[in-house]
Amino acid sequence: MSEHGGKTYRPWEPERYQQQAHSPASKLPEGDLVFFLLDTVPQLDLSRCYAPYEQETRGAPPFDPAMMVCLLLYAYCVGVFSSRKLALACERNLAFMAIVGEERPDFRTISDFRKLHLEAFKDVFVQVVRLAGEAGLVKLGNVSTDGTKIQGNASRHKAMSYGYMKKEVARLREDIEALVTQASQQDAADDAALGSRRGDELPEELARREKRLATIESAMRRLEEQAKLEAEEERQHRAEAERQRQGHKRRGPAPKEVDETPADKAQSNFTDPELHIMRTNNKGWDYCGNAQASVDGAWQIIVACDVTDDANDKKQAEPMAQATLAILAQAGIERPKDADTGAPRAIAATLDNGYYSEAAAAALEGLGFDPYIAAGRLRHHEEPQAGAPESPRTAKERMAAKVRTEQGRELYSRRKAIVEPVFGQVKEARGFRRFLLRGLEAIRGEWRLVCLTHNLLKLWRYGRVPAAV
């Protein structure tokens, strides 16, 4: 039995497993990923993973959290995301057996551990970024941010539009009223004939309809709250436009009053109501999360990640920049400094035109970034501009001119070679195309686990992990 903070756990002795007959150590290559993780995980501070078990005295000793973390990290590295497939691999795959030995968790244990410790993997993500920084894989010369749609664990067939909800609510209320009347009549007839009530199927049918009515009304309230938020944003947008228009005559008719009622086509999903329907790359529509990643240009290390339920990236530039600075600070990675003055230098940030707004560009500059955001589509053979524009321009035109300068084109051209291949490596090489968990916070944790294992793979492939002390 092993101990951590006074708590007893099932024994975990990977060194002994490796030396057994037909052991993983004798069959797998010396530099295999599993041995890299077995060396790296003990260097991580996993106190948050141990904390929930320290005061628990009931039941059998739990599996060592270090072993479970190592198991999940290896599984996500090699593209095994299902807890059932992972449990099966622990019985049949030498690399997985090198981690668990003879103490093989079942799929429920694996699933529960992942759900319980999603927040704890925030610390693991920061520590892996710190390892990458210590290994010289984070340079902060060009941080590129982009998003990709990843399908949620929600069926399109378990959704309903607001217009259909109104009709269905009216129909269910009529059905419930009719069933209540029928039940009362049946009770009276049975009491007269037998002195006691018979026929329990009516209350059961009534309960089914009442449950469905409550579910639909809850979805309607979510859509109505979302419509109010969107209406308030529209009012703020109009107020800003009116402020900028002062002194100029309005063109065209005055806009209509902002409507807080959801459109009849607005949909809500019953299996994962936090996700929205989004347009996907195959020009179809599905319930997705918009997975964001900020990637350092030197070795494609992900320095910040998130998932949002917004279909576009307009509002994500500032939150991702803030998240990047927070992760770098926690990981102890300093900004690059100017060679002459020694002062911190602005970090070049490249983003596609989906992120552009005047407010986003200003926010990035205020946070210490030097943004290069496409304000429109760049022509392939367009010549770079030399020097500054001759006449004053709008903020959008100034950003477009900045991106078209020689330095701007050089930096921006690297964007698609920095962040877009990361999504290819995640989706194509590892096969992560769908979230397994439900709820926005849960899928954020799952995406964080995907991103930190991407960074571990980079450390392993480049052989840059610091030696254990």
Q: Tens digit of pLDDT for each residue in 183-199?
A: 666 666 666 555 554 44
The pLDDT assigned to 445 comes to 94
Q: Tens digit of pLDDT for each residue in 38-97?
A: 999 999 999 999 988 887 777 778 889 999 999 999 999 999 999 999 999 999 898 999
Distance of alpha carbon 466 from the chain centroid: 28
Q: Tens digit of pLDDT for each residue in 121-144?
A: 999 999 999 999 999 999 999 999
Residues 6+ apart with CB under 8 A from 315: 308, 360
Bridge partners, residue 369, by sequence = 347
Bridge partners, residue 279, by sequence = 285
Q: What would the mean pLDDT of 334-341 be, rounded to a whole number? A: 82
Q: How many angstroms separate the CA atoms of 280 and 156, rounded?
A: 13
**Host H or E run for residue 147:** strand 143-151
Q: Tens digit of pLDDT for each residue in 265-295?
A: 676 666 777 777 788 776 678 788 999 999 9
Domain boundaries, the chain: 2-117, 126-154+275-461, 158-269
Asked if residue 298 has pLDDT above 80, the reply is: yes
Q: Which two tokens stand for residue 427?
A: 């989706």
Asked if residue 378 has pLDDT above 60, the reply is: no
Band (392; pLDDT cuts 50, 70, 90) = very low
The pLDDT assigned to 235 comes to 75
Bridge partners, residue 145, by sequence = 294, 351
Residues 6+ apart with CB under 8 A from 132: 138, 299, 301, 455, 458, 459, 464
Share of the chain above pLDDT 70, in %: 77
Q: What would the mean pLDDT of 108-131 be, rounded to a whole number? A: 94
Neighbours of 42 (CB within 10 A): 12
Amino acid identity of 81?
A: F
**What is the end-to-end Cα distance of the chain in Å, rounded?**
24
Band (384; pLDDT cuts 50, 70, 90) = very low
267-269/276-279 β-pairing: unpaired
Between 453 and 233, name the one with better pLDDT: 453
Residue 21, Ramachandran bin (φ over 0: left; ψ between -120 and 50: alpha; else beta): beta
Dihedral through CA 390, CA 392, CA 394, CA 398, nearest 10? Answer: 40
Distance of alpha carbon 384 from the chain centroid: 36
DSSP structure class, residue 176 = H
Asked if residue 373 has pLDDT above 60, the reply is: yes
What values do phi and psi take at 294, rounded to 5? -110, 125
The pLDDT assigned to 268 comes to 67
Write down the pTM of the prediction: 0.77
Q: How many angstroms separate the CA atoms of 314 and 102, rounded?
A: 50
Q: Which two tokens stand for residue 200?
A: 């329990």
